[in-house]
Amino acid sequence: NAGVTQTPKFQVLKTGQSMTLQCAQDMNHEYMSWYRQDPGMGLRLIHYSVGAGITDQGEVPNGYNVSRSTTEDFPLRLLSAAPSQTSVYFCASSYDRTLSSGNTIYFGEGSWLTVV
- Tell me if 1 contacts other proteins by CB under 8 A: no
- Tell me if 26 contacts other proteins by CB under 8 A: no
Distance, in Å, from the CA atom of 93 to the CA atom of 69, rounded to the nearest integer, reads 15
Whether the Cβ atoms of residue 23 and residue 4 lie closer than 8 Å to each other: yes
- Helix, strand, or coil here: 81? coil
- Tell me if 31 contacts other proteins by CB under 8 A: yes
Binding piece for other proteins, criterion CB under 8 A, among 8-16, 19-27, 65-73, 104-112? 104-112
Q: Are strands 111-115 and 10-13 parallel, antiparallel or unpaired?
A: parallel
Q: Which of 88, 114, 115, 116 binds other proteins (CB under 8 A)?
A: 88
- Number of residues in contact with other proteins under rule CB under 8 A: 33
Phi first, then psi: give them for residue 33, nearest 5 degrees. -155, 165
Which chain residues interact with other proteins by CB under 8 A? 4, 31, 33, 35, 37, 40-45, 48, 50, 58-59, 88, 90, 92, 94, 96-101, 103-110
